[in-house]
Amino acid sequence: MANIATMDRPQRWDSPFDPAMTEQDVQMLLERPEFAGIDSSRFPPSLQLAGIIQNDCRLVRFKPGEIVVREGDYGNSAFLLISGQLTIVIKPGLPSRLLGRSSIRKKGLFGAISQIWKNSKFPEARDTSRYSNLKDTSTRTTETTVQNTSLLTSRYADKLFKNTIVDPAKAKEVPPLRDEYETASLRPGAIFGEIAALGRAQRTASVFAHNEALLLEIRWQGLRDIRKYDEGWRRLIDERYRNNMLKEQLIEHPLLKNMDEQKIQEIADHTLFETYGSFEWFRTYKQSKNQSQLNTDAEPIVAREGDYSDGLLLIAAGFARVTKKVGHGTRTLTYLREKDEFGLDELYDSWKNGQEIALETTLSALGYLHVLRIPAHILQEVIFPFMEEPTKRLVDAAARPLASDSLLEWAVSERFINGTQTMLINLDKCVRCDDCVRACATGHGGNPRFIRHGKSHGGYMVANACMHCVDPVCMIGCPTGAIHRSTEGGMVIINDDSCIGCGTCANSCPYENIQLVEIKDLEGRPVLDPASHQPIMKATKCDLCQQQPSGPACVRACPHDALERMDFRKGTILKTHSER
């Protein structure tokens, strides 16, 4: 008994979003029409609305000109404007340097080197006193605190505003931006950012405070729970989700790049919005993987080879497989993801030649898939007359030798296509020296954050290291938000401080890349929960060495050029249609 340390098992709201939230704040918020209309009796006793507001929300105040959200950021929260006015910059985006892109605090040279001797000699040692401190202080942030950037005081002010600002400090509201900026205003009661928060997607536009503004920031767990138990919010969120997502995606789609607002609106009015597969695709995927060989039949067919197409399919989110029948089997030609389209070639040919042409390939959903369907008549009226004839066809990929398919088939069936930083090891070069593992351990307090073992195929191995997925399913279900995307670069990171070791993420990860570890204190004693006497666990995984000055240490350390962190899309064979 003497040789163990104890601490309370962390709970869902152990680390509230903002400990400074008071009862009065919560009361005030509950009285606002957005919350007053909610039937709080539908919430379970352990997850009361007041509790959600208390723990999953915080009040933030912005001065005129200060940026609230930045385009391109990964955000885990949505906002409700309580008072004041915000401006949303629709296009063009604000200069990226103005958006700050605050970097994660990297270790300095000495800090980096000192790891060699400072690292604990005990595996998974933690300073447990830190965890208890965190509960009381308000300084806690999951990421480096970012000083709010203000448009008014920025170096780019001259380029942003029509007139020069005389005294930024005293300005009560932001003067109009130059004409090239298209903006819209948000008034109290507006909710925004919910798409990025729930869709695990990047923010689509920047928002800044027009005048002094008070906002309620709701982290996505809270938003998720409110949406789950309140019909009104669900309708609101779904409606907006559908409309905004649709328009954003149409605007950003390469095919519609040069369309004017009117045409986009016309297209949007007629576009159908469809989803395939399940939102939590990884659960069924893991099950089917355990049961037997994956078969493509388990993937819902979106469009079938030989059928006639009634519209162009734009991929809005998720992945889809493009296949073609070869002999007695099906062959994967490529896979599609966000911003790719399907069926263009056939529809264009049909329009041009005036006769219907059947689909040359089949499209099936890999797990969760959002598709926008633009009907054929809209294409013929609005789009085809103004676009150039496509030079490359999706089916062109069928020309390559069958033998070259295997890596793609493997990557798709193992869903490595999801990864952006997949650890690929060339086994013909790897001398099994474990330098990568040791380097990783050095950068993480003496603990490796991956296992140099994993699925292999044709001399390549994808090691069990976090791939920093495009669709990070591990983030679904984290009760505390400990697992999140870093503001910069979108790396998936686990905040050790708020992780309660529930294992949800580890169980969600289809690639088994998250490991739960039993922590020890600095003296090397196992840390146990005093109640159950079970060890305190923490979820751990690769964080891409975000604190190191050098980027992923495993790549740096490999002496034989055998290890790479890569996006499978970068391989020629795997290039998606639109990138070719």
Partner 1 sequence: MKDINDNSHENNSYLRPNCSFQCGRAKMWRKPCWQGPDQKGGCGGTSECTPYRKGDRYECRRPKHAGGPCVQGPLPDGQCANTRVACQPKPRLRERRKQFSLIAVVTVIASIAALMTTGENGKLSPLSMDAGQLSSVHAGFTREEGCGSCHTVHDKDALSWLQAAFTPHDQTEGCLNCHQFGGPNTAPHNAEFPDRSDLPNPTCNTCHTEHKGDNFSLVQVSDALCSNCHQSNTTSFVKNHKAFPDDFPSSEPNTIYFNHDKHLGEYFVEDKWLDKRDRAFGERARDACVTCHQVETASREVKPRPYREVCANCHDDQIRGREFVLLTYDSLTPLSGLLLGLNEDDADDEDIGGEKRAELMEKIAESGFDPVSELLDEQGQSDFTTRLFKGMNSESIRNAATAWAEGDDYEPEGGTEIKLRGWKAGENANGDQAISYLISGHEDQVIHDWVDYIVAVLNSTDDENLRDSANYALSFLLDREEGAGACGKCHQAGVVSSVIQPGKHEIQWGYVGQANRPYTRYSHAPHINLLGSNAGCKTCHKLNAEADYTAYFENFPPQADQFVSSFSAISKDTCTECHRSKIARFDCQLCHTYHHKPGFNIDFQEKRKTSHE
Partner 2 sequence: MASIPAILLKQRNWAPYAILAGIMVALFVATALSSTYLAHHLGDPAYVTGYTLFGFMVFLIIFNIRKRLSMLPIFKVRWWTPLHVASGILVIALFWLHTGTLWPGGLYEQAIAIIFYLVSLSGLYGYMVLRVYPGWLTQTGIEVIYEEVPAIVADYREEAERLILECTKETRSDTLARYYTETLDWFFRRPHFIINHLLGGRKGIHWVNQHISTARRYLNDTEREYLDKLNDLASKKNRIDFHFAIQSMMKLWLLFHVPVSVALFLLSLWHLLLVNVYSL
Collapsed DSSP state (helix, strand, coil) of residue 494: strand
Task: Output the smallest distance, CB 478 to partner 1, in A.
Answer: 16
**Closer by beta carbon to partner 1, 121 or else 328:** 121
Structure tokens at 429: 């070069």
- Applying CB under 8 A, does 118 fall inside the site for partner 1? no
- Applying CB under 8 A, does 369 fall inside the site for partner 1? no
- Applying CB under 8 A, does 122 fall inside the site for partner 1? yes
Among 453, 560, 570, 580, binds partner 1 (CB under 8 A): 453
Task: Output the smallest distance, CB 517 to partner 1, in A.
Answer: 7
**Closer by beta carbon to partner 2, 195 or else 439:** 439
Q: Are strands 206-209 and 67-69 parallel, antiparallel or unpaired?
A: antiparallel
| φ/ψ (deg, to 5) at 56 | -105, 5
Binding mask 462-481 for partner 1 (x = CB under 8 A): --x-----------------
Identify whether 92 is preceded by a cis peptide bond (ω within 30 of 0): yes
- Applying CB under 8 A, does 510 fall inside the site for partner 1? no
Binding mask 457-486 for partner 2 (x = CB under 8 A): --xxx-------------------------
Task: Output the smallest distance, CB 546 to partner 2, in A.
Answer: 12
Structure tokens at 33: 């029409």
**Closer by beta carbon to partner 2, 428 or else 523:** 428
**Closer by beta carbon to partner 2, 430 or else 483:** 430
- Applying CB under 8 A, does 523 fall inside the site for partner 1? no
Among 46, 164, 292, 572, binds partner 2 (CB under 8 A): 572
- Applying CB under 8 A, does 306 fall inside the site for partner 2? no
CA atoms within 13 A on the CB side of 463: 27
Q: Which does 367 bind (CB under 5 to 8 A by kind): partner 1, partner 2, none?
A: none
- Applying CB under 8 A, does 452 fall inside the site for partner 1? yes
Structure tokens at 188: 């109290």
Q: Which does 113 bind (CB under 5 to 8 A by kind): partner 2, partner 1, none?
A: partner 2
- Residue pair 87/185 in contact (Cβ under 8 Å)? The answer is yes
**Is residue 132 within a helix (H) or strand (E), and if so which, with residue range?**
helix 128-136
Binding mask 405-444 for partner 2 (x = CB under 8 A): -------------------x-xxxxxxxxxx--xx--xx-
Give the other-Cβ count within 10 Å of 492's Cβ.
27
Query: What are the DSSP calls for 182-243, one per residue?
Result: EEEEE-TT-EESHHHHHTT-B--SEEEESBSEEEEEEEHHHHHHHHHH-HHHHHHHHHHHHH
Task: Output the smallest distance, CB 288 to partner 1, in A.
Answer: 15
Q: Which does 514 bind (CB under 5 to 8 A by kind): partner 1, partner 2, none?
A: partner 1
- Applying CB under 8 A, does 419 fall inside the site for partner 1? no
Structure tokens at 204: 């689509």
**Closer by beta carbon to partner 1, 116 or else 403:** 116
Task: Output the smallest distance, CB 519 to partner 2, in A.
Answer: 23
**Closer by beta carbon to partner 2, 249 or else 442:** 442
**Closer by beta carbon to partner 2, 313 or else 425:** 425
| C-alpha dist (Å) from residue 9 to 166, 184, 523, 580 | 55, 46, 20, 51
**Closer by beta carbon to partner 1, 191 or else 506:** 506
- Residue pair 481/224 in contact (Cβ under 8 Å)? The answer is no
**Closer by beta carbon to partner 1, 320 or else 461:** 461
Which residues are CB-contacts of 356 (< 8 A; sequence separation ≥ 6)?
308, 350
CA atoms within 13 A on the CB side of 289: 14
Q: Which residues of 458-477 are buried (b: 16+ CB within 10 A; e: fewer)?
A: eebbbbbbbbbbbbbbbbbe
- Applying CB under 8 A, does 16 fall inside the site for partner 1? no
Structure-token match 């999801």, residue found:
418
Q: Which does 506 bind (CB under 5 to 8 A by kind): partner 1, partner 2, none?
A: partner 1
Which residue stretch of 190-198, 324-332, 376-384, 434-442 sits at the interface with partner 1 (rule: CB under 8 A)?
Answer: 434-442
Burial label, 109 (beta-carbon count in 10 A; 0-12, 13-18, 19+): exposed
Q: Output DSSP code: residue 411.
A: H
Among residues 364, 333, 359, the alpha carbon closest in space to that of 346 is found at 359
Q: Which does 424 bind (CB under 5 to 8 A by kind): partner 2, partner 1, none?
A: partner 2
- Applying CB under 8 A, does 336 fall inside the site for partner 1? no
- Applying CB under 8 A, does 509 fall inside the site for partner 1? yes
Structure-token match 């932001």, residue found:
174
Separation CA 82–CA 316 (nearest Å): 31
Binding mask 317-356 for partner 2 (x = CB under 8 A): ----------------------------------------
Give the other-Cβ count within 10 Å of 375's Cβ.
15
Among residues 436, 291, 281, 466, the alpha carbon closest in space to that of 365 is found at 281
| C-alpha dist (Å) from residue 141 to 95, 134, 390 | 26, 10, 49
Separation CA 449–CA 493 (nearest Å): 12
Within 98-117, the residues that bind partner 2 by CB under 8 A are 107, 109, 112-113, 115-116
- Applying CB under 8 A, does 557 fall inside the site for partner 2? yes
Which residue stretch of 132-140, 394-402, 452-460, 486-494 sits at the interface with partner 1 (rule: CB under 8 A)?
Answer: 452-460
**Count of positions (residues) in the chain:** 580
Chain residues binding partner 2 by CB under 8 A are 107, 109, 112-113, 115-116, 424, 426-435, 438-439, 442-443, 452-453, 456, 459-461, 545, 548-551, 553, 555-564, 566, 570-572
Chain residues binding partner 1 by CB under 8 A are 121-123, 434, 437-438, 441-442, 446-455, 464, 506, 509, 512-518, 524, 532-535
